[in-house]
Amino acid sequence: MPEMKIYKALLNITPLILISAFICTSCSSRQDYKTIDGFTQGTTYHIVYQQPGADSLNAMIDSILMAVDNSLSVYNDSSLISRINRNEEVLADTLFVNVFNRSREIWELSKGSFDISAAPYFEVWGFGAGEKRDVTQPMIDSIRQFVGMDKVSLDSGRVVKSDPRVSLNVNAIAQGYTADVIAYAFDRLGIKNYLVEVGGEIFCRGVNARGNEWTVGLDKPVEGNMIQGEELQEIITLSGRGLATSGNYRKFIEENGQKYSHTIDPGTGYPVKQSLLSATVIAPDAMTADAYATWFMVVGLEKAKEVLAASPGIDAYLVYDKDGKFEVFYTDGIKIK
């Protein structure tokens, strides 16, 4: 996994969002494969790993999940990011620094299409902690003054804002990052076969209990398909890489018969309206896959294809609507089972 050094500090710890991938593991055939399931960051997690003996890694995983929540969760009032949004004087921890720096890199690559500072737009549209407001163009214009990663930076571990109204939301990257951090902890322990899934974002390595590459079922992006794994679009194989899916078919709001996508274009402040229904991205790490999937949902099918053509190491499976029918585009690196 590239850039593993960014996770090292986490190992000293001792204490949509949207789910759109179904994990097919079948791990009961070998007793040394263990499974851990639970809830975190407002969603579920599912972890399978091979470890001979009776020792469990539950405590280590719980400690990582708690650390991420205390750093990056906007739903936790006492978290580091919540305190930063309230302009309290705090020093950023390694988790926040890693996510902030990668988010800024992808903000630059995407020319602003991926932007963790677009949190105020999510709030007024009702996709944050508050209720939806009656959105007007003057409201959007006002918010635009304090949205953009050029208005926030890190200086010796402190977040510096050009406007105190700047606020951050890392939900579009944090679950992928969480999967990466747990995966790296497994790597450091010498665990060679594992799958980590947090909210549908995945990193896996090695093989499953049957000795095969891990398989991931991609949900069909149709309205009403609310149960993970109930109606699959495709099954692909995966090992040694991260995967994330973003889509608009499960999370939206409806008002006066109008449905609004949960994907907000940071450039306009409005929900996106285009033919791309879901984007599954595979990348060297799950954090990157998570961010790219959101980026693609903002810019749409044709721009996503352009980005993929210019991005070695990034693969995608894109489902889009064409004249009322599902169509699919996927890159050569997608391995369909």
Q: What is the pLDDT of residues 276-288, one digit of tens each?
A: 888 999 999 999 9
* Predicted local distance difference test score (pLDDT) of residue 128: 64
**Domains with residue ranges and CATH for the chain:** 4-336 (3.10.520.10)
Q: Which residues contact 112 (CB under 8 A, 6 or more apart)?
A: 148, 149, 266, 267
Rounded average pLDDT over 179-189: 97
Residue found under tokens 């214009």:
141
Between 134 and 137, name the one with better pLDDT.
137
98: helix, coil or strand? Answer: helix
Task: Say how far apart CA 16 and CA 125 lie, in whole Å.
Answer: 15
* Predicted local distance difference test score (pLDDT) of residue 30: 57
* Predicted local distance difference test score (pLDDT) of residue 323: 84
Q: What is the mean pLDDT of the chain?
A: 85
- pLDDT (tens digit, 9 = 90+) per residue, 298-333? 999 999 999 999 999 999 999 888 887 888 999 999
Q: Which residues contact 54 (CB under 8 A, 6 or more apart)?
A: none
* Residue 188, pLDDT above cutoff 90: yes
* Predicted local distance difference test score (pLDDT) of residue 49: 95
Q: At what angle do helices 94-109 and 58-72 cross, to 10 degrees?
A: 60
Longest Cα pair distance anywhere in the chain, in angstroms? 62
* Residue 8, pLDDT above cutoff 60: no
Q: pTM of the predicted model, to two decimals?
A: 0.86
* Predicted local distance difference test score (pLDDT) of residue 179: 98
Task: Say how far apart CA 218 and CA 317 lie, in whole Å.
Answer: 9
Distance of CA 204 to the CA centre of its chain: 15
Q: Report percent pLDDT > 70 for the chain.
A: 81
Pairing relationship of beta strands 252-255 and 232-238 according to DSSP bridges: unpaired
Q: Of 280, 221, 215, nearest to 246 (Cα)?
A: 280
Phi–psi pair at 179, nearest 5 degrees:
-60, -40
* Predicted local distance difference test score (pLDDT) of residue 53: 74
Distance of CA 130 to the CA centre of its chain: 21
Six-digit token string for 233: 């679009």
Six-digit token string for 134: 């009656």
* Predicted local distance difference test score (pLDDT) of residue 135: 87
* Band of residue 223 on the pLDDT scale cut at 50, 70, 90: low
* Predicted local distance difference test score (pLDDT) of residue 249: 52
* Predicted local distance difference test score (pLDDT) of residue 24: 46
Q: Report percent pLDDT > 90 for the chain.
A: 65
Between 72 and 21, name the one with better pLDDT.
72
Q: Of 164, 194, 205, 178, nearest to 98 (Cα)?
A: 178
